């Protein structure tokens, strides 16, 4: 009987990308996927520790599986991986079969053979990878592909757990990334999203020229210059490391999407200082101005108005009402297309965890709502620019009677007037006339 696996993924794109590599490894050693958790022999939970709520869900999942296992004869194996704090590792050790580091994915086959009898005595001969990012993933989001270019983080923002769970920054060699992207283009992928906790500090080696270090703007240019009809973008950026060179490169490289995710986290200099972010609001606003002007000068059509999104945390320890007001001011000034607003949640091991979490839950909620309201307004204002325009859309998926896709400005578009034979439009660029906009997306009709 075949062995079946099911992966549960929490958290960011990086975790989702890791799950695609885990799937590739499991299938190489004889597992096949199942969407039904109950039918799986092996359940992999790819954990996120960025917020406590995600960790709580992991604990919930595990006890659910355990309870079900107790009632059945089949004994499902549970493997935990991803971003896990040492304290949680300790707590969960006895509740799971294995806790494995994602950067050891190359040795998972040997380790798994200790808990799965069907894998015993198997030789994993073709399984010689230098590092885990080397493993070619089972890409699962055609025509979009997420390509990690680095892992880890050196920034130690005071609220953030990532440097503790993912370790220090390691950049993939440039050729390896180029090779993966070339293969994706060959397979028809149309949107390449480079991933890293802070892609702006990418420093990859070139094997062919031993001494040469490739920095991020150069990597972007190298990928942009590959043959093929595709779009390119990347997340996440850091305001302290986003260089003028990158701004220039982005605007001039025609395949780079008119989109930038630039987390600001707070609109107050003192809070930013305590978050250890290493930039000021003046610096941030300058960056936004520069990039908007550049795109406006160089790009054409809707690409002139670059889509800018951000991350914001409300209720950082000691954030006063006045400091919060500075965040509202910033949001009104910058007019983001999108903002992922989070309520501060203390994370063990981080330096902010030593500070008193003194903004009450209700006050965090109140602040969150105020920002969400501002965002709703600015996002709608931005999207209104698309009304009645004919835009190019990359079709990503089909659900019920609609197609879904994105513009080159990374705006989500729902297309309603398609005929059933149009379902093979997935992975194609089409023209869409925008008929309706909301703050969170837009709708249009295929323009033949």
Give the binding site for ligand SF4 (CB under 6 A).
Answer: 153, 155-157, 160, 162-163, 197-198, 238
CA 375/CA 278 separation, integer angstroms: 25
Please say whether the beta carbons of 261 and 410 come within 8 A: no
Helices (H), 300-347: 321-334
- What phi-psi label fits residue 228: left (phi over 0), alpha (psi between -120 and 50 degrees) or beta? left
CA 218/CA 243 separation, integer angstroms: 12
Q: Which does 345 bind (CB under 5 to 8 A by kind): ligand SF4, ligand 5AD, none?
A: ligand 5AD
Please say whether the beta carbons of 216 and 171 come within 8 A: no
CB of 196 to ligand SF4, least distance (A): 9
Concatenating the DSSP letter of every residue in 108-164 gives HHHHHTTT-GGGTT---TT---SSGGGSPP---STTEEEEE-EE--S---TT--HHH
Stretch that binds ligand 5AD, among 276-284, 318-326, 341-349, 421-429 (CB under 6 A): 341-349
CB of 77 to ligand SF4, least distance (A): 31
Stretch that binds ligand 5AD, among 139-147, 169-177, 185-193, 337-345 (CB under 6 A): 337-345
CB of 163 to ligand SF4, least distance (A): 5
User: Of 65 and 339, which has the nearer Cβ to ligand 5AD?
Assistant: 339
User: Of 82 and 405, which has the nearer Cβ to ligand SF4?
Assistant: 82
Q: Which does 171 bind (CB under 5 to 8 A by kind): ligand 5AD, ligand SF4, none?
A: none
CA 4/CA 37 separation, integer angstroms: 9
Residues 6+ apart with CB under 8 A from 40: 4, 5, 6, 34, 76
Other C-beta atoms lying within 10 Å of the C-beta of residue 407: 25
CB of 86 to ligand SF4, least distance (A): 17
Q: What are phi and psi of 424, to 5 degrees?
A: -80, 15
CB of 105 to ligand SF4, least distance (A): 20
**DSSP helix, strand, coil percent of the chain (3-state; round to 5):** 40, 25, 35
Both tokens of 286, joined, read 């300058």
User: Of 157 and 395, which has the nearer Cβ to ligand SF4?
Assistant: 157
**3-class state of residue 392 by DSSP:** strand
Binders of ligand 5AD in range 24-53 (CB under 6 A): 50-51
Q: Which does 196 bind (CB under 5 to 8 A by kind): ligand SF4, ligand 5AD, none?
A: none
User: Of 11 and 109, which has the nearer Cβ to ligand SF4?
Assistant: 11
Q: Which does 164 bind (CB under 5 to 8 A by kind): ligand 5AD, ligand SF4, none?
A: none
Residue 299 makes contact with ligand 5AD by CB under 6 A: no
CB of 150 to ligand SF4, least distance (A): 11
User: Which residues are bridge partners to 415 per DSSP?
Assistant: 403, 444
User: Of 314 and 415, which has the nearer Cβ to ligand 5AD?
Assistant: 314
Q: Which does 347 bind (CB under 5 to 8 A by kind): ligand SF4, ligand 5AD, none?
A: ligand 5AD
CB of 158 to ligand 5AD, least distance (A): 9
Q: How far is CA 148 from CA 15, 83, 200, 225, in A?
A: 10, 16, 13, 19
Please say whether the beta carbons of 335 and 366 come within 8 A: no
Candidates 248, 270, 311, 443; binder of ligand 5AD (CB under 6 A) is 311
CB of 386 to ligand SF4, least distance (A): 30
User: Of 365 and 381, which has the nearer Cβ to ligand 5AD?
Assistant: 365
| HEC profile of 270-285 | HHHHHCCCCCCHHHHH
User: Of 202 and 344, which has the nearer Cβ to ligand 5AD?
Assistant: 344
Q: Which does 101 bind (CB under 5 to 8 A by kind): ligand SF4, ligand 5AD, none?
A: none
Q: Which does 201 bind (CB under 5 to 8 A by kind): ligand 5AD, ligand SF4, none?
A: none
Q: Which does 198 bind (CB under 5 to 8 A by kind): ligand 5AD, ligand SF4, none?
A: ligand SF4
Per the omega criterion (within 30 degrees of 0), is the bond before 228 cis?
no
CB of 263 to ligand 5AD, least distance (A): 4
CB of 346 to ligand 5AD, least distance (A): 7
Other C-beta atoms lying within 10 Å of the C-beta of residue 248: 15
Candidates 233, 249, 265, 383; binder of ligand 5AD (CB under 6 A) is 265
Scan for tokens 């600001």, then name that residue. 264
Please say whether the beta carbons of 336 and 308 come within 8 A: yes
CB of 197 to ligand 5AD, least distance (A): 9
> Applying CB under 6 A, which residues contact ligand 5AD?
50-51, 159-160, 263, 265, 311, 313, 342, 344-345, 347
């Amino acid at each position: 009987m075949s062995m079946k696996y099911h992966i549960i993924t929490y958290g960011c794109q990086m975790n989702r990308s890791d799950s695609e590599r885990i799937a590739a490894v499991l299938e190489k050693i004889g597992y096949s996927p199942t969407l039904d958790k109950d039918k799986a022999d092996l359940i992999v939970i790819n954990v996120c520790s960025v917020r406590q709520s995600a960790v709580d869900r992991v604990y919930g999942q595990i006890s659910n599986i355990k309870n079900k296992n107790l009632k059945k004869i089949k004994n499902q194996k549970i493997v935990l991986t991803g971003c896990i704090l040492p304290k949680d590792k300790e707590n969960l050790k006895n509740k799971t079969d294995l806790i494995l580091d994602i950067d050891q994915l190359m040795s998972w086959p040997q380790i798994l053979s200790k808990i799965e009898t069907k894998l015993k005595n198997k030789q994993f001969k073709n399984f010689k990878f230098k590092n885990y990012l080397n493993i070619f993933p089972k890409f699962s989001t055609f025509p979009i592909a997420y390509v990690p270019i680095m892992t880890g983080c050196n920034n130690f923002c005071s609220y953030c757990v990532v440097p503790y769970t993912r370790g220090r920054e390691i950049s993939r060699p440039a050729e390896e990334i180029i090779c993966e992207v070339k293969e994706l283009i060959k397979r028809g992928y149309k949107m390449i999203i480079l991933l890293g906790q802070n892609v702006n500090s990418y420093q990859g080696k070139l094997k062919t020229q031993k001494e040469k270090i490739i920095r991020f703007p150069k990597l972007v240019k190298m990928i942009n210059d590959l043959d093929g009809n595709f779009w390119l973008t990347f997340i996440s950026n850091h305001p302290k490391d986003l260089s003028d060179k990158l701004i220039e490169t982005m605007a001039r490289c025609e395949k780079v999407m008119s989109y930038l995710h630039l987390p600001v986290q707070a609109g107050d200099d003192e809070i930013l200082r305590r978050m250890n972010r290493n930039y000021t609001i003046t610096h941030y606003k300058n960056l936004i101005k520069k990039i908007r002007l550049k795109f406006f000068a160089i790009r054409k059509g809707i690409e002139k108005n670059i889509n800018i999104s951000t991350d914001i945390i409300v209720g950082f320890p000691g954030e006063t009402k006045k400091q919060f007001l500075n965040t509202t001011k910033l949001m009104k000034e910058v007019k983001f297309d999108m903002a992922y607003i989070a309520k501060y949640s203390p994370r063990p091991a981080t330096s902010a965890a030593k500070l008193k979490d003194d903004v009450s839950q209700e006050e965090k909620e109140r602040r969150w709502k105020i920002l969400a309201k501002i965002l709703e307004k600015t996002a709608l204002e931005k999207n209104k620019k698309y009304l009645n325009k004919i835009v190019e859309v990359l079709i990503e998926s089909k659900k019920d009677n609609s197609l879904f896709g994105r513009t080159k400005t990374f705006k989500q578009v729902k297309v309603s007037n398609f005929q059933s034979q149009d379902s093979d439009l997935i992975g194609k660029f089409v023209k869409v006339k925008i008929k309706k906009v909301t703050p969170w997306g837009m709708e249009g009709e295929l323009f033949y």
